[in-house]
Structure 1
Amino acid sequence: MASYYSTRYTPDPGRTKVWRAIINYLEKYIGTSCEVVIDIGCGYGDFINNVNAQKRYAIDLNPDAAGYLIDSVEFRSTQVTDLSCIADASVDIAFSSNLLEHLSDDELTLAASEFQRILRPNGLFITMQPNFYYAYREYFDDFTHKKIFSHESLADFFRSSDFELVAMEKRFLPFSLKSRLPKTYFLTRIYLSSFYRPFAKQMLGVFRKKSTTPLISKDAS
């Protein structure tokens, strides 16, 4: 894990400016403030440190991620397949960025079950992912990628896990923040408001937990 952070996922001060613009864009789904938000695979905390919520949780396998979070964010170091530190039906918005492609099929099944469990009825799962349909050349430049997702397969995965598709943007952001685009708040706002998004190879998926989905408690035998 430490070697991954030192090679593929290094800190970048410009990332915060970009993320503030991304969060502003996502307010159409999450509002300007909500009750409980969780960032699953929080990394350097770019999303969870900047989103407005009464309660903010951050989850990451790397315990060092805690050092990048502001004091009001509650951090837990755990696997995405075991979110037992989060109560049943207690989260309004679950968010992940560049996470699901790092999981095996078995891990994805367990993770989806945990997403269902922690979300309230009609809660949202919002995810940003590289879209293999557009990023096939560089998709496996990251040696930790295990699973291929396109905009079609991502939507099908969540539907099969009892979520409803709210929105899918096939071209959302460039494949990496290491792209040639300048890292500024205003340019990112303009980019996301544009019909034409050059170099966009990441997708945005927004999914709603079905209100009729039976709750499976972690304590159930």
Structure 2
Amino acid sequence: MNDAARYYQTRYQPDPRRAAVWRVICRWLQREIPAGAHVLELGAGYGDFINQIQAARKVAVDIAEQVRTTAGPGVETHVGSCTQLGFAGDHSFDIVFASNLFEHLPLPDLERTLAEVRRVLRPGGKLLVLQPNFRYCYREYFDDYTHVMIYTDRSLCDVLTAAGLEPVRVRPRFLPFSMQSRLPAAPPLVWLYLRSPIKPFAGQMFVVARKPGV
């Protein structure tokens, strides 16, 4: 069993509640995805995002082999590191999505990943990042033993800017830190939470960064 498999077994097991919550999150995120878009998800995990969004082309990348079996119909899969997206041509995606990924990467790996993101995005394409915000979840942040970097809404925007991506929308408080939050996970309540300006227990941020161009 490799490190990725051990992590999935220990910290990130399948959970039907998560898929239901992600169905609602994807409904909200769909507004960021233009019709006919080509979408790439980095660190796709169980496919809770890529399986449920609407797009002309959907591609999932993960270092764990299970991405091949959890990806839904019509989703292309690639097992490998997000630091090397050799399967993707330049300017080949409209949207790149990453959820709870960057905090697991040492800074040099994140810099390589963002360079690849900038390469594969079309001019005007967007990187969507859902990410723990250390500013609001510092007590629980290192409950995940694989977290190696700390990001706040400010530092994440600085990293993205340094990589040549322009942050255009930032929500410092977007969702609770994890499925173990005290908030109910019923889909109607998740939808209300996403739309509400009041975010109790929020520990995740959402950032949209644009590749300069047309």
- TM-score bucket (shorter structure): over 0.9
User: How far did 1:24 drift?
Assistant: 1.6
1:54 and 2:56 are equivalent in the alignment: yes
Aligned to 1:88: 90
Residue by residue, what CA displacement relative to the aligned partner does 1:62-96 show, whole Å, maximum 9, x if unpaired?
01122111121000001010001111100000001
Q: Is the 8 A contact 1:91 1:119 kept in 2?
A: yes
TM score, norm. by length of structure 2:
0.95
Unaligned runs of 5+ in 2: none
Aligned to 2:12: 9
Aligned to 1:136: 138
For 2:186 and 2:59, locate their aligned partners in 1 and report how far apart those are by CA, in whole Å: 26
User: How far did 1:178 drift?
Assistant: 2.0
Return 171-180 or 110-119, whichever deviates more: 171-180
Match of 1:204 among 203, 206, 211: 206
Aligned to 1:114: 116
Aligned to 1:77: 79
Secondary structure of the structure 2 residue equivalent to 1:63: coil
TM score, norm. by length of structure 1:
0.92
- How many residues were matched structurally? 211
For 2:138 and 2:15, locate their aligned partners in 1 and report how far apart those are by CA, in whole Å: 25
* RMSD between aligned residues: 1.1
For 1:43 and 1:177, locate their aligned partners in 2 and report how far apart those are by CA, in whole Å: 15
User: How far did 1:30 drift?
Assistant: 1.7
For 1:116 and 1:52, locate their aligned partners in 2 and report how far apart those are by CA, in whole Å: 22
For 2:37 and 2:155, locate their aligned partners in 1 and report how far apart those are by CA, in whole Å: 30
Aligned to 2:100: 98
Q: Which amino acid aligns with 2:13?
A: T
User: How far did 1:183 drift?
Assistant: 2.1
Q: Is the 8 A contact 1:172 1:200 kept in 2?
A: yes
Q: Is the 8 A contact 2:50 2:75 kept in 1?
A: yes
For 1:168 and 1:150, locate their aligned partners in 2 and report how far apart those are by CA, in whole Å: 11
For 2:13 and 2:188, locate their aligned partners in 1 and report how far apart those are by CA, in whole Å: 23
- Percent pairwise identity: 44
Aligned to 1:216: none
For 1:70 and 1:108, locate their aligned partners in 2 and report how far apart those are by CA, in whole Å: 27
